[in-house]
Structure 1
Amino acid sequence: MGEAIVVGITDAAVTRRAVDWAAQRAAETRRPLELLAVVGGAVGTVGEDSIVEAALAQARESAEGEAARVAGHGFEIRTRVDRGNPVSKLLDASADAALLVIGSDYRGPGSKTARGAHGLRIAAGAHCPVVVVPDIDTAGRSGVVVGVDGSPAGEKAVAFAAAEADRLREPLIAVSVWTPLEVPRNMGVYPVEYLENLARLTEESLGISLAGLRSQYPDLEIDPRVERGYPSQIINELAADARLAVVGSHGRGALARFLLGSISQEVLARLATVTAVVR
């Protein structure tokens, strides 16, 4: 993992929010900030060169404008403009980055826009944590929400979230969600013992995942939550009032560069706050 915080910038309005978020973190952590614009869509047809050159010039101007806007806060800032497939270029950049930041046009529950396929592929295939910044004003929110499921990716998410919460001096809201099996139609209701055991086992698993955090971060406020429901829905409900949400990525096998676990994907599809995906 590298040192720089890399931000993928486009001409979308949300780019300003993504750059602002990344610049604040760069200032607080004293990491360099790199603004990366990628011009894609070229197919090599005759007469295309002039269009590509104009697009590159516009991207360069935009990147330099954003750099000038957030400069002067004590961290190194640089710009880079490239051409090619934006997803591939951002994934390549993530190999040498501490953090990759991208924006989302999603504006909350009433928005017609959901996180697109490109963003999901970036979050799934990146070599470093990815932070997705929605086009939502999160000023005045508090807390870092993390989904905890006991998996290796979930444990990395807890470690990332705890470090962020401690650095930001925010409470860590660690949530584990249990979901009962669908009841067969002829069964009627769930046995009470079954529900109680699910809740107890989930609480025990959450305790194991959080063990050691209090000694590692003695000043960190930890708020463990055990909830019944569907994980992505619960996480986004809690994240609606939070400064940051963190989930683990469960990419699988040869398709890891293209797949997130279903829960992470669903969280990103309906962003409630700035959300980090850790793998």
Structure 2
Amino acid sequence: MMSEAIIVGAVESSAGAHAIAWAAQRAADREQRIVLYGIVGGAAGAVGASSVISDALQATEEFLQGQAETLRARGLSVETRTDAGDPVALLIEASRSSALLVIGSDYRGPGTGPARGVHGIRIAAGAHCPVVVVPDHDLDAAGRTGVVVGVDGSPVSEAAVRFAASEADRLGEPLIAVTTWTPLPAPRHSGAYPHGYLESMSAMAEETLALALAGLRQDYPDLRIDARTQRGYPSEVINGIAATSRLAVLGSHGRGAIARFLLGSISHEVLARLATATAIVR
């Protein structure tokens, strides 16, 4: 049983190491079990494929056991599991009975190459539990602080705020709650907005944010809350703040035939260019 466990898509790579490290720290703080899940992908049916898959499964199990021994030496409860098949489908299925799914991404931040994360986006879109995608760079670097959460007033946004507040409290970091507002293009004939339009949009964003944060003080009396409303495009604003944060949190609007493979533009854009470890919450 993996219920209430953190399942990690464990890969023998730099990105995989960062994902395991993130999950291990979370498990230690929350006293949760970890399941290291190694999946051998690739096409089956070719001549000699069964032998190749068998060898790959053995190598994966040896890698997982080595990682598990290291984590157990830290006092963590760790299980291992190996499978062959489609990593996206298998991780989504495993998320049905997990408290949290953690996967790595080989994206190393702005200026390091093209966007990444097609598999990560599909997994986050289809998962049945919160998913944390960990980029391939040092999240403990000096100067990183805070847990940033995008707030839009929706029910899934409420879940994201609660998740982010809990993580900020765990980490001893401030919660940076952000609501963005984006005005329509100014009328062409005048090039200016009607009187009070921008002020009204800003005020509506502030009200949305205040309502979303109401009650957090009662549950987290020691939590530092940095409430921000900012004009701009949501994914750009979130990633701009996330570049110096420990964690970013976004809500995902449901699941379904299409939602399994498409999170929506904001979550998609944030995950494609990871500025920090990013949680997608339902």
TM range, smaller chain:
over 0.9
Work out whether 1:53 is the aligned partner of 2:54.
yes
1:35-54 map, 5 Å: 35-54=36-55
Which amino acid in the other structure matches residue 277 of structure 1? I
Query: After superposition, what is the alpha-carbon deviation per residue over 1:10-51, rounded to whole angstroms, capped at 9, x for unaligned?
Result: 233211111011011111111001100111113223321111
Q: Does 1:157 align with 2:160?
A: yes
Aligned to 2:129: 128
Q: Aligned equivalents of 1:116 and 1:244: distance in 2? A: 17
2:246 pairs with 1:243: yes
Question: Residue in 2 aligned with 1:228?
Answer: 231
1:69 aligns with 2:70: yes
Shift of 1:67: 1.6
CA distance, structure 1, for counterparts of residue 39 and residue 46 of structure 2: 19
Correspondences of 1:1-279 after superposition (within 5 Å): 2-139=3-140, 140=142, 141-251=144-254, 253-279=256-282
Matches of 2:175 and 2:137, distance apart in 1: 21
Shift of 1:175: 0.3
What RMSD, in angstroms, separates the aligned Cα atoms of the two structures?
1.4
Distance in 1, Cα, partners of 2:238 & 2:5: 29
1:115 CA displacement: 2.6
2: CA distance between counterparts of 1:30 and 1:72?
A: 15
3-state DSSP of counterpart to 1:95 = helix
Q: Distance in 1 between matches of 2:30 and 2:245?
A: 21
Q: Deviations over 1:74-122 (max 9, x none)?
A: 2210111101110010001111111000001111101214232111000
CA distance in 1, matches of 2:153, 2:160: 10
Instruction: Name stretches of at least 5 consecutive residues in structure 1 with no aligned partner.
Output: none
2:149 and 2:175 in contact (8 A); partners too: yes
Amino acid in structure 2 at the alignment position of 1:57: Q
> How far apart in 1 are the matches of 2:43 and 2:174?
47
Q: Once the two structures are aligned, what percentage of the paired residues are identical?
A: 60
The alignment partner of 1:78 has SS state of strand
- The one-letter amino acid paired with 1:249 is S
CA contact (8 A) 1:107 1:113 kept: no
Distance in 2 separating the partners of 1:253 and 1:3 = 24
Residue 196 of structure 2: SS of its match in structure 1? helix
Q: Distance in 2 between matches of 1:61 and 1:168?
A: 32
Provide structure 2 residue ranges, at least 5 long, that are not aligned to the other structure: none
Aligned-partner residue type, residue 232 of structure 2? G
Separation (CA, whole Å) in 2 of partners of 1:62 and 1:198: 53
Aligned length: 279
TM-score (norm 1): 0.96
Range that drifts further, 44-53 or 123-132:
44-53
Question: What is the TM-score with the length of structure 2 in the denominator?
Answer: 0.95
SS at structure 2 position matched to 1:14: helix
Cα distance in 2 between the residues matched to 1:86 and 1:113? 22
- Deviation, structure 1 residue 252: 5.4
1:152-171 CA distance string (max 9 Å, x none): 11111001001111122211
Opposite residue 171 of structure 1, the aligned amino acid is: P
Contact (CA 8 Å) 1:124, 1:249: kept in 2 or not? yes
In structure 2, do the counterparts of structure 1 residues 253 and 188 end up closer, same or farther at CA, with 3 Å as the change threshold?
A: same
Contact 2:33 2:78 (C-alpha < 8 Å) held by counterparts: yes
Q: Give SS of 1:254's match.
A: coil
Q: Secondary structure in 1 aligned to 2:54?
A: helix
Give yes or no for contact 1:102–1:132 (8 Å, CA) kept in 2: yes
In the TM superposition, what whole-angstrom CA distance separates every residue of 1:252-272 from its partner, at most 9, and x where no partner exists? 543221120211111111111
